[in-house]
Every structure is written in C-alpha cells, then in structure tokens.
Structure 1
Amino acid sequence: MTRETVRIAMNGVTGRMGHRQHLVRSILALREQGGLDLGDGTRLWPEPVLVGRREHALRELAERHGLTHWSTDLDAVLADPAVDIYFDAQVTSAREEAIRKALAAGKHVYTEKPSATSFAAALDLARRARDAGVKHGVVQDKLFLPGLRKLKRLVDCGFFGQILSVRGEFGYWVFEGDWQEAQRPSWNYRAEDGGGIVVDMFPHWEYVLHELFGRVRSVQALAVTHVPQRWDERGKPYDATADDAAYGVFELDGGAVAQINSSWTVRVHRDELVEFQVDGTEGSAVAGLRGCRFQHRAATPKPVWNPDLPATHSFRDQWQEVPDNEEFDNGFKAQWELFLRHVYADAPYHWDLFAGARGVQLAELGLRSSAEGRRIDVPEITL
C-alpha cells in the first residue's frame, strides 16, 4: 500500500472547537489509525500545518501533539505548493478574507460554519471556489450525530408517513462570567465581533431541516438578548449586543412546519442538549445527540385530558429505542474522511460552500424577520 502525505493548513485550531474536534478527534485520530485507506491501494497520511496569530499557543500545541509544522504567517503557508487543503476554524469575522486567499492560491477549502458574515459574501466564496475548480466543503456535523442518523433511517424507510411537524429544543445555560466562568468565548455575545445565536445555530438548522425533511421555504423568528451584561475572559464586564436566544418557525417543502428554540439562557430539562421531535401520520420519533426513540401509530396510546386525576402511567415508557445496528464514529471525523475522499478519490460530496451559503442566508433572513416582525420567504440560491 502506498502512503501519500497530505498537508493541511489548519487555521484557528488553538480555539476550543478547532482543537478538540478537528485537530484531536479528527486529523490526529486519523493518524492514530494509520491514515485513511482510499480503497485503491493508497493510504492518506494527514500532516497538519497549524496556523494562527499567537506564536506561543501554536508552539505549545505543536509540542503537545508531537507536530513540527506551524506558522503565524498565513500568506507563506498558502504560498507553499506542498499544502493542498486549507481549513478554517477561526472566529467568523476573520474567515472570509482567509478563505479568499486560500482560493486565490488554488487550495481546496474546508471550513467551519458560517462560511462568511453575510449571505452575499458566502455566495461569493462559493462561486469563487466553483470558478477556481477546487474542491470545497463546509462542516455540517449535526448530520453525523448518531441520534440524527437514526432519525434519518426512519425518514428514509417511510416510517412517519406524511411528516407534519418538527419541534427542536437546543440550548443550555451559559454562565455570565462574573461568579462562574463562562463556557463560551465572550465574542459570541458581541454582534460587532460576529456573535449571536442566530448566526451560530440557524446554519445548523438549515442543513438539518434541508437534509432530513425538505428545503426551508420561509422563516419567522424572534431573536432576543435575555442577558444584557456579561463578563469576559479577563473578568471585565461588557454589554452583550448579540442575541442569546432565538425562537424560529420554518415552513418546509411538502408542507411540514418546524419550530426550533435555540437558547444560551435555558436550564436543561431534557435527556440531551438538543432534541428533535418529528410527528407524522404513521408515527413519531424523538432524536437527541445519540439516542432516538419512536412510537408507531399502531402502538400510540389514547390519552384523555383530565386535570382532576394524577397520571397513572409514564408517557416516556411508551416509546421504543431505535437500535444502533452500526458503530458511529465521531461526526467531525466522519465528515473529514468524506471530504478527503472527495478531494483525493473524487467521491461524491454535496456539503459544499453553496450548502454553507444556504445556512448563512437563513441566519440573515432570520435576523431580518426578527427585526421586521414578519414571516420572510427563503428564495432558492442561484448558483
């Protein structure tokens, strides 16, 4: 078997998501398993080139993981013909310019979402990538969660009959940072720095809804800032100018209606941090990060509303678990493998920058809907 080294410029991996999910649990995990077997006698060996602004952080990260290639000079890294792929996990406000440079340098591009700070910019990046003839992809990790893969299994086999509605609940309490350290970076709560839960989560909801149930045709949203003051990483108070909760209603192709609450100001009383309930004429299901429970029409009990008597049975116990039936790898790693196969074996891949632009479009229209207090149609993207 021939081993082919693939140099990947990884920008922003000193951050939480870039480090934990993309570097450690994806690229380094691929190295630990001996590389990626393409099935044609070739095994890809990913060689990350760490890129960032903080030299000491890059050096420490490289030493911790036994890596030798790192740089604070993005232009020099992109000028290196040995680097094939550019990956971006920076803050959103810095992403667009870096991706433009990578495309101009002829690199294949893989990026976290959102791909840009505006729909116009996201669509421009997608068209530039298409015109440059390079491969491109946007992280859409929720599709690879075991719970949603089980849910898709039910969709694909026609379990639901006609799908009527989707209800999603996502969120947890993010501490303000005064007496308890916040578990998210402070820029998430400053609109001027690209923060906000709509910008962060609506791109996720776009691809989840699009992939499993149908294209989003309209959006009506209310975005709010429930906690107006927070404390940053240095313990200094600042005004929270970005939305920390959003309540959205999405009309889908086929007539189904999705309602999704997204909040960093909610205390969890669910089995998982995100749950989706899908109701159809033939059955229903509730999916989380890992599990998925279902109830068929024939097994649906007949509840009767009577507030004068206590419930004598557990509604949760009336549902069945969808079995695993397969091993589920880390979702970020699974999508990295698909993207690498797309680049080096021309395998099919449709989670590209155009798909990423749809997510930015929905976030932008969601914020506009909230500002104008009305439902807004979501036009199809013109490639």
Structure 2
Amino acid sequence: MATLRIGIIMHGVTGRMGMNQHLIRSIVEIRKQGGVTLANGDRLLPDPILVGRNAERIAALARQYGIERWSVDLDKALANPDDTVFFDAATTQARPALLKRAVQAGKHIYCEKPVATNLAEALDLYRAARAAGVKHGVVQDKLWLPGLRKLQLLNDAGFFGQVLSVRGEFGYWVFEGDLQPTQRPSWNYRSEDGGGIILDMLCHWRYVLDNVFGKVRSVSCLGATHIPQRWDEQGKPYRATADDAAYATFELENGVIVQLNSSWCVRVRRDDLVTFQVDGTHGSAVAGLTDCWTQSRVNTPKPVWNPDVRQTHDFFDDWVKVPDTTVYDNAFKVQWELFLRHVAGEGEFRWNLLEGAKGVQLVELGLQSWKERRWLDVPELTGREGA
C-alpha cells in the first residue's frame, strides 16, 4: 500500500489552541501513527508547513516537533501547488480575508470557529468556497468529546424517552491578571479585537444543540461584562469591553427547552468545566468532557422537602456511570482525520462553512436579543441569503 503526501499550510499555530490541539495533538500525532488510513489501505501522510509572522517562534516550534518546513511568507506558501490544504487558527477578525485568499489560490480550507465576526462575511465565505469548488470545513470539536458521544448514544438508544430539557454550565474563573497571571489572552476581553464569550461560545452551542439535541428554533440571551478591568500579558491594566458571561435560553424545534450559562467569572463546583444535564420522561443523564452518569426512571429517588433537617441522602450516589465501550481519541484529531479523508475523496463532511455560518448567525441573534431584551426566532440558513 502507498503512502500519499498531503501538504497543509498551517497558519496561527503559535497560539494556544492552534499549537496544542491542532498541531501537537492532531497533525503531529497523525504523522506519528503513519498517517490516515484510506479505504484502499493507502495512508495519507500530512506534510505541514508552519506559517506565522514571528520567524523565531515559528522556527522553534517547527524544530521542537520535527516539522521540516516553516515560513513567514504567506503569499509564497499559498502559491505552492504542492500544498493543497490551508488551515487557520489565528484571530477571528482576520479569518475571512485569509480564507478568501486561500480559496482564490485553489486551496481546500479548514479553520477554527468562529468563521467570521458577522453573518454576512460568513455566508460570503461559504459561497466563495462553493463557487471555487474547494472542500471546506470548520472545527466543531465538542461533537467528538467522550461525554457528548455518550449522551448521543443514550439519546439514540431511546434512554431518555421524551427529552424535556437540557441544562448546561460552562466556564471557570479566568484570573484578572493582577493577583496572579491570567490563563487566557487579553484580546478575549476586548470587543474591538474580536473578543467576547457570546461570539466564542454560542458558535459551539449551535452545533452541539443542532447535532445532539435538536435544531434551534429561538433564542433569548443576556450578556454581561462582570469584570470591567483586567491586566494584559505585560501586566498593564486595560478596560474589558467584551462580555465575559452569557446566560442563554433556547427553544428547539422538537420542543426541548435548553438553558446554557457560559462564564469566565465562575468558580467550578461541578463534575467538569462543562456539564450538560438532560432530563427526559424515562431517564436523565449528566455529561462532562469525558464522563457521563445516568439515572433511569425506576432508579429515581423520591425526595421529600424538609428544610428543618440536615440532608443526609447523597443524591450523587443515585447515578450510574456510563462505561467506556470504545477508545476515545482526541476530538480535534478525529475531526482532522475525517476532513483529510474528505479531501482525499472519501466520505462527506457536513461540518462545513455553512454550518460554521449557523454558529455566527446564533451569535448575532444572541447579541441582538441581549440588546433588545427579547426572544428572537432563528431562521433557516441556506447559504443563499444576501447573495
């Protein structure tokens, strides 16, 4: 069986997400395993070129992980016909223009979310890629998290009966930067630089809801900037202009009610940094990033309200952990492998730029809902809007 090279231009991999999840835990690991196996037994081996503005940083990163090629010249990289895929994990604001350049150069494109800061740009990008005939995909990693895959399995098996509601809690305390260093980049908290938790997280929640629980019909969202001043990477104070918390309620087409809180200003007292509780007529489940617990109808306790007596019943003991019935690989790596197979002509890849645009659509509606303090319907998105 043959080993087939696939050249990938990787842009924005000196940042936290691009470096850790896409370069180190995805492409480097795929290379270590000898590539992606195709249906005929051939192996598709990624040959990345790292592209960035800082030559010293990009060269050091390439050396550290055994990547032979790097460059600070994006135009030259795009002009190389031997590299057929362009990947971007840099800033959201610059993403549409970068991806447009890659499309014009005939590259297949794969990118982080959000695909743009507004719906018009997101749809324009989708139409450009479609017109050019290139293949395109957007990172929707949460769908391959073990916890969510277990929830999906329970749903497919009919465990819940009729699903009634979903409640999600996401976030943790991001340090302001004065008492101890912050663990997220300062631009996340400046709206003028593309920051904001609504822009960041409602893109995630759109594809999670659409794929796991049901299509989103309407949204009500309240944002907040709880911490008005933070300190940047150089220890200098700055005004936080972006929302750092979002409290959203969604109605799905199947009647399920979803409440999702997202916050960088919350201290964790739950099973994981994100948890989803699904309640149905026949059972309930709570999932984190990796684990999932269930409680069936027949195993549900019968609590009695009595505030005058200390609670002695441990309600956590009433839940049963879902076992690992398969090996769960890194979620980003799994989607990378699917996209590379798609580029090679194997399988559909539904997580495309139109799906990415749906996330941006929900962001815009969430921001509008916050501004106007009202519920908003979510229109069906076909990709032809505004053309």
Alignment partners' CA distance in 2, 1:248 and 1:345: 39
In structure 2, list runs of 5 or more residues that go unmatched.
none
Equivalent residue, structure 2, for 1:284: 284
Deviation at 1:75, TM superposition (A): 1.4
Alignment partners' CA distance in 2, 1:373 and 1:111: 32
Give 1:55-70 correspondences, 5 Å limit: 55-70=55-70
Give 1:7-26 correspondences, 5 Å limit: 7-26=7-26
Equivalent residue, structure 1, for 2:114: 114
Equivalent residue, structure 1, for 2:311: 311
Alignment partners' CA distance in 1, 2:38 and 2:142: 24
Alignment partners' CA distance in 1, 2:349 and 2:300: 39
Instruction: Tell me the secondary structure at the aligned position of residue 349 of structure 1.
Output: coil
AA aligned to 1:90 is: A
In structure 1, list runs of 5 or more residues that go unmatched.
none
Equivalent residue, structure 1, for 2:267: 267
Deviation at 1:178, TM superposition (A): 1.2
Deviation at 1:41, TM superposition (A): 2.7
Instruction: Tell me the secondary structure at the aligned position of residue 346 of structure 1.
Output: coil
1:182 aligns with 2:182: yes
Equivalent residue, structure 1, for 2:41: 41
Alignment partners' CA distance in 1, 2:6 and 2:164: 46
Equivalent residue, structure 2, for 1:139: 139
Equivalent residue, structure 2, for 1:337: 337
Q: Deviations over 1:182-234 (max 9, x none)?
A: 00000000000000000000000000000011111111000100000001111
Kept in 2, the 8 Å contact 1:146–1:290? The answer is: yes
Deviation at 1:382, TM superposition (A): 2.1
Q: Indicate the larger mover: 360-369 or 63-72.
A: 63-72
AA aligned to 1:131 is: A
AA aligned to 2:72 is: T
Alignment partners' CA distance in 2, 1:107 and 1:166: 39
Instruction: Tell me the secondary structure at the aligned position of residue 177 of structure 2.
Output: coil
1:163 aligns with 2:158: no
Equivalent residue, structure 2, for 1:247: 247
Q: Deviations over 1:229-264 (max 9, x none)?
A: 001111111000000000000010110010000000
Equivalent residue, structure 2, for 1:3: 3
Q: Deviations over 1:264-320 (max 9, x none)?
A: 000000110000000011110000000000111111111111111222211010011
Kept in 2, the 8 Å contact 1:146–1:291? The answer is: yes
- Runs ≥4 in structure 1, deviation > 3 angstroms? none
Instruction: Tell me the secondary structure at the aligned position of residue 93 of structure 2.
Output: helix
Give 1:313-328 correspondences, 5 Å limit: 313-328=313-328
Alignment partners' CA distance in 1, 2:283 and 2:241: 42
Q: Deviations over 1:92-120 (max 9, x none)?
A: 11111100001111111100000011111
Deviation at 1:179, TM superposition (A): 2.0
1:257 aligns with 2:273: no
Alignment partners' CA distance in 1, 2:140 and 2:60: 29
TM-score scaled by length of structure 1: 0.99
Instruction: Tell me the secondary structure at the aligned position of residue 93 of structure 1.
Output: coil
Instruction: Tell me the secondary structure at the aligned position of residue 78 of structure 1.
Output: helix
Kept in 2, the 8 Å contact 1:36–1:43? The answer is: yes
AA aligned to 1:185 is: P
Kept in 2, the 8 Å contact 1:38–1:345? The answer is: no
AA aligned to 2:243 is: D
Deviation at 1:124, TM superposition (A): 1.1
Alignment partners' CA distance in 2, 1:180 and 1:90: 26
TM-score scaled by length of structure 2: 0.98
Equivalent residue, structure 1, for 2:197: 197
| Number of matched pairs | 383
